[in-house]
Copies of this chain bind each other. A is one copy, B any other.
Amino acid sequence: MAKELKDLTKRSEDYSQWYNELVVKAGLAEQSAVRGCMVIKPYGYAIWEKMQQQLDKMFKETGHQNAYFPLLIPKSFLCREAEHVEGFAKECAVVTHYRLKNDPDGNGVVVDPDAKLEEELIIRPTSETIIWNTYKNWIQSYRDLPILCNQWANVLRWEMRTRMFLRTAEFLWQEGHTAHATREEAEEEAQKMLNVYADFAENFMAVPVVKGVKSANERFAGAIDTYTIEAMMQDGKALQSGTSHFLGQNFAKAFDVTFVNKDNKPEYVWASSWGVSTRLMGALIMTHSDDNGLVLPPKLAPIQVVIVPIYKNNEQLAEISTHVEPIVNQLRAMGISVKYDNADNRRPGFKFADYELKGVPVRLAIGARDIENGTVELVRRDTLEKSVEKLDGIAEHVRDLLDDIQANIFKKALDRRTQITRTVETYDEFKTEIEKGGFILAHWDGTPETEEKIKAETKATIRCIPLDGDTTPGKCMVTGKPSARRVLFARNY
């Protein structure tokens, strides 16, 4: 492990390589035998589970319930909403048969041509269509509304270029699908969930995000408005981290879902949908980690504190363990996840490097001398600062330190983003600045044509029209036409 750690490419050498290596070496995920699909390993999955638990809690606190809808979607459903099919048709995995049979030539099994489906089934790339086909039966009157459902599921989009967590063919996510009696309520829901996502990103992942609205070019296929949270990675590229969509009545019309309103008149139902995925793992890794490995926010770290005994013989280990045990118990009573690593098949130096690689926020090391002095050696993962602390009161100290680390890595990421966010006036300036990475706030005339020109010439896209910040109007940096306000540009993942 210590050797593997040394082999980790530095961020300054090759950021992309550093990321790919870190994902594997820290035991988060690995490529599978199936193109574009990853295996999420136990340590990576443990972080995802902590994310899930917190998000699920937040969804339930905002009145949502979980449900489960089919993995497979009839091909014809996808076609009902014109923009939706346009957006997803090119990346759909298609089930055409339901049986294998022995190869008549004796070469294993082959697809049984007699078991061809009458209508092909698509593995869900997202579930609006199958869910709105279901909601049709659930909704008759305004009294049946709102419906506030969420689903934790796997989805599949046959992407050409994949990267672990950031863009994989199959990924895990949650998708909320809500139905409302009024336009206002559906819009409010989309915004409410955007705020839940931002709250989660900033206060649990310690990842600062910009909340905004997508331009027409970047909208979800089938949405009226797409809201987004945009995070900034250490290499100056943006990462879209979560989206919520106001879908208007598009899917209600596509699946003929109407309700009788309070005035006893039929009306199409209003909709929202919203999702975050295992892509958040990518945002988490790339925001905080360093050349020594992962740096995890304490609130999402599977192991928050590790204690390593330093001993020469079993007698010393026994003595140390006597002192460690009450600390472990105290920390657990505080709800802190702690591991006492007294395994004797790896040396302390190996363990230190391993837990650094895995991003454990606080490491305590205790030797015989420490016991004599009533002290313990403490290393915090975010700064790698080493200190000697009193054993007496160490649990309280660690508890406070975890809060401090959580706040510190958020501040560090926020400071970095602030520094890397600039305002430019001219397109020339924009072209120079975009090469340096980061967010750029600039005026844009609001047309898809100008946006596409900028993308073609600079590889930068409009990440969002921010909901907060400066709303002074101006002139488009490219065309000179009027601009309602500055929008946020960046190159992105």
Contacts and interface: CB of A to CB of B under 8 A. Distances in A.
A100 interface: yes
Contacts of A91: 98-99
Contact of A154 (B30, B92, B154): B154
Contacts of A134: 30, 32-33, 39
A472 to B, nearest CB: 44
Nearest to A93: B95
Interface residues of A, number: 63
A3 to B, nearest CB: 15
A42 B70 contact: no
A395 interface: no
Nearest to A123: B95
B111 A69 contact: no
B99 A89 contact: yes
Most buried by B among A34, A38, A40, A133: A34
A56 to B, nearest CB: 9
A150 B298 CA distance: 25
Interface string A152-163: 011010100000
Interface in A431-459: none
A97 B94 contact: yes
Contacts of A407: none
A149 interface: yes
A42 B72 contact: no
A416 interface: no
Contacts of A100: 75, 78, 85, 89-90, 92, 94, 122
Interface string A14-48: 00000000000000001011100111111001100
Nearest to A95: B93
Contacts of A93: 72, 95, 97-98, 121
Interface stretch (A60-68, A182-190, A353-361): A60-68
Given A89-B109, A109-B89, A67 B96 contact: no
A14 to B, nearest CB: 24
A77 interface: yes
A75 B101 CA distance: 11
Most buried by B among A41, A45, A74, A94: A94
B70 A34 contact: yes
Contact of A130 (B30, B33, B345): B33
26 contacts: A34-B121, A37-B70, A39-B134, A40-B67, A40-B68, A41-B67, A42-B65, A42-B67, A72-B93, A78-B109, A85-B100, A85-B108, A85-B109, A89-B102, A89-B109, A92-B99, A92-B100, A93-B98, A93-B121, A94-B96, A94-B111, A95-B96, A96-B111, A99-B158, A100-B122, A153-B154
Interface of A: 30, 32-34, 37-42, 45-46, 49, 65-79, 85, 89-102, 108-109, 111, 120-123, 130, 133-134, 137, 143, 149, 153-154, 156, 158, 170, 172, 345
Please give me the 9 A-B residue pairs with the lowest Cβ-Cβ distance, nearest first.
A42-B65, A40-B68, A89-B100, A79-B108, A37-B70, A98-B158, A94-B97, A96-B96, A34-B70
